[in-house]
Structure 1
Amino acid sequence: MAGWSAWQYIVSFIIGAMVYDQVMYIKRKGPIAGPPFKIPFMGPFIQALHPKFDAYLAQWASGPLSCVSVFHKFVVLASDRDLAHKVFKSPAYAEPCIVPIAKDILGHKAWVFLQGKAHAEYRRGLTPLFTNKAMATYLPVHHKVLSDYFDKFVNASKAEQGKPREFMTLFREINCALSCRTFFGDYISQDAVKKIADDFYLATAALELVNVPLSLYVPFTKPCATTWLFQVLAQRPDVLDRLREENLAARGGDKNKGFDLPMLESLTYTQAVIKELLRHRPPVIFVPYLATKDFPVTPEYTVPKGSMIIPSCYPALHDPEVYPHPNTFDPERWITGDAESKTKNWLVFGAGPHDCLARRYVPLTMAGMIGKAALELDWKHHATERSEEIRVFATLFPMVCVPKLPAFVFSLTLN
């Protein structure tokens, strides 16, 4: 070796590093599903930049546990319902991490990363914001926000002379406005609401630059659900008509009457539509966790410390043994079927100590929005060849040909 040139040393080092990287991947992978070998160093990094939903489906179908490795980060995906519950409910072994550098971006003391007593106390302080009493005070605010934005929706459509246009940006803004007006009232200006909505979108896009496969940030859940809700109902006029009739009857025939908590709770069919939408197109398909120590998720496999372990929600919500014909949008399964009793599969809002606090707030907000929209607006979806394709952008959106923007293209008029 004394006579080796610098190039020979460099080549030897690279080959040694490649062998080490491959050996470590095979050792960490063990018996679970995943590529038998890793692309040297980078792994499937290119695919991570533009994630495809079909790739996620294939990964989930490959086994209850599967893996990928990107650069130095080893990622284990739990697609089995019971394994997903185990990860959600094992704070001693795993903690939420969103993306690998999320703590550096959001701060190590951000409440989403709190554990144990500190997390429980912080969460206890937020719980009163989502009680029935609190919800009752929010709904009149929601009604006013919706009225203002529905006027804005119609004016936007008129400005285009009724031509099709994308509305996802407005859905994004209306959901931001609902949250801001609920918790800040009129102390925040309309321009500030729009800026928050736009900046949050850009921040989400920026976080995707540090995305690894099966590891996504998930703040854009409500706009996604709203986009799908309007599209699904536009495609199913019979469902929309029935929802419209129920909401009109609940208002005693006065379509301009506001909504309150007892009214929304009485809307059996509307609630079934919302639940089925959240099952059919869940806004959160998985939640990234970080293994803080070696995590024995099964008797046969232990997730190595420092790996990402990602419990998946989508497979449980599309299990054909629990939800017959899972890819069919069928609100009746919540009324005449037994879907309501399948609580263990209902992972829309996660599970365990870090489950979503808004599991009641979100469906009620959506019910108020779509009921009011059904009575006051008509909308038509202008389908494209990509309308049913799914784009994964921190959540699931319909894909249409709008540059770099998932959108729902439709025309809208007053009812």
Structure 2
Amino acid sequence: MASSNDYARKILNSPAHAEPCLVHSAKQILRAENWVFLTGKSHVEYRKVLNGLFTRKALGIYVGIQDQITREFLKRWLDEHTADPTPKPIMFTCRDLNMVTSLRVFCGSHIDDAGAREITQKYWDITLALELVNFPLPLPGTKVYRAIQCRKAAMKHLVSAAAKSKIAMASGKEPECMLDYWVRAMEEPGYKGRKDFTDDEMAMVVFSFLFASQDAMSSGLIYGFQHLADHPDIYKKVREEQDRVRGSNPDRPVTLEMLDEMPYLRAFVRESLRVKPPVTMVPYKTTKAFPIADDYTVPSGSMIIPSFYNSLHDPEVYPEPDVLNPERWLDPQSSANTNPKNYLVFGAGPHKCIGLEYALMNIAIVLADAITMMDWDHVRTEKSDEVEIIATLFPKDHCLMTFRPRASA
């Protein structure tokens, strides 16, 4: 276990000596040929193509989808709490929101509602199978077996979506989702990457994005709701910023330009993720002897785990590290901003999270729309501050909340 920032970063930035292995069954669940398991030049070249799916131009397409779906879900939450105002855990409601949002961002209308529901309902089996300690063989009835069946079901829908996207773009339609944007980008005159991606390959990429985003983004969003409710002063500042940016029109759709005018919200999201990072460690496996220190070489074939928590709670970089303080990100000269190497929420090195801007944007949009549309209270229990690790971090009581329409604009 590498607990220091230097050692953690050395592992993350040494692809010649170590590669991410996640858990023993990861390649069985995600498929060994999935691009996330590539290393070296092949990984770099593949990633270059996928980086284009998260440019500002691409994010500009996604933001409207995220905003629309978020509002639909928040209205549904309000209706449910109006009918039954008792506190309810938001863990799975947030997960459902994130899954539907991601499927629509990635696949648009190329996956129908029934397909989206099937993936959403079954995906929890993948989360459970990717816990660090699990029976590793895919025997019927095991978590790994159920996860593989879920992946197969999801891939059928995703392969079909990739095929439909190619047909839609060939007919001259405008891109409405990530798959469309990818297909259209490959047709651009200046495009220099691969153009022969099969439907199956594109589906595997989308599936890997779901895997990378769903649990981590849900963890970040749940703690975002909890942290705002538990800090009324921060809650007030986020709301005041929203009222200023949106003016007299709370229903105004969110755009990238509007998000640029929300520095306090963006600082809060970064800080909330720092205090409660969704992922605190990522198992790596050495591919050959790794001289990690002058006095120690990690043997080939060993599991070596970079830990992120200490880096994100270093008191020299983040004074009072356990205190939620968004202001630390507003000063360009603060120690938080001048030590970006410590902010390992999204990892580092060649396998750093490719969709970090998408994840930050999605959490920000949900919290921005929520604080504009409604009020909420966190009902604390004896387990509210305890952590449950199910692939990523969650409050042990699954975060009990009450929602109601906003009292005043």
Q: TM-score range by the shorter chain?
A: 0.7 to 0.9
Match runs of 1:8-87 below 5 Å: 77-87=1-11
User: How do residues 16-415 of structure 1 correspond to structure 2 at under 5 angstroms?
Assistant: 77-160=1-84, 162-208=85-131, 210-211=133-134, 220-336=215-331, 337-400=334-397, 407-415=398-406
Shift in Å, 1:188 = 2.0
Q: Give secondary structure in 2 for the equivalent of 1:290.
A: strand
Q: C-alpha deviations, 1:267-309, integer Å up to 9, x for none?
A: 1111110110111111111111111111111011111111111
Pairwise CA distance, 1:365: 1.5
* SS, match of residue 391 in structure 1: strand
Tell me the amino acid that sits aligned with residue 302 of structure 1: T
Matches of 2:134 and 2:96 in 1, distance apart? 25
Instruction: Give the structure 2 partner of residue 66 of structure 1.
Output: none
Question: Secondary structure in 2 aligned to 1:135?
Answer: helix
Q: Distance in 2 between matches of 1:143 and 1:320?
A: 36
Q: What percent identity do the matched residue pairs reach?
A: 41
Query: What is the count of residue pairs matched by the alignment?
Result: 328
Contact 1:173 1:193 in 2 (8 A): no
Q: What is the rounded CA distance, in whole Å, between the counterparts of 2:249 and 2:233 in structure 1?
A: 21
Structure 2 gap ranges (5+): 136-210
- Which structure would you say has the larger RCO, counting Cα contacts within 8 Å and 6 or more residues apart? 2
1:314: Cα distance to partner? Answer: 1.1
Q: Tell me, in whole angstroms, the C-alpha distance in 2 between the residues paired with 1:89 and 1:199.
A: 34
Pair 128,209 (structure 1): closer, same or farther in 2 beyond 3 Å: closer
Q: Is the 8 A contact 1:251 1:257 kept in 2?
A: yes
The offset of 1:211, in angstroms, is 4.1
Q: 1:338 to 1:137 in 2, by over 3 A?
A: same
C-alpha deviation, 1:155, in angstroms:
2.0
Higher helix share: 2
Q: Aligned partners of 1:348 and 1:227: how far apart in 2?
A: 16
Local SS of the residue matching 1:78: coil
Moved more, 272-281 or 363-372: 363-372
What is the rounded CA distance, in whole Å, between the counterparts of 1:275 and 1:135 in structure 2?
18
- Give how far 1:164 is off: 0.6
Worse overlay, 189-198 or 253-262: 189-198
SS in 1 for 2:253: coil
* Contact residue 96 and residue 120 of structure 2 kept, 8 A: yes
Secondary structure, in 3 states, of the residue corresponding to 1:327? coil
Q: Return the alpha-carbon distance in structure 1 between the equivalents of residues 258 and 220 of structure 2.
A: 22
In 2, the alpha carbon distance for the partners of 1:225 and 1:198 equals 20
Aligned CA RMSD, in angstroms, stands at 1.6
CA contact (8 A) 1:234 1:381 kept: yes
2:187 maps to none
Going from structure 1 to structure 2, the CA distance change for 1:190 and 1:170 (only over 3 Å counts) comes to farther
**When the two structures are superposed, what TM-score results if normalisation uses the length of structure 1?**
0.76
CA deviation after TM superposition for structure 1 residue 96, in Å:
0.9
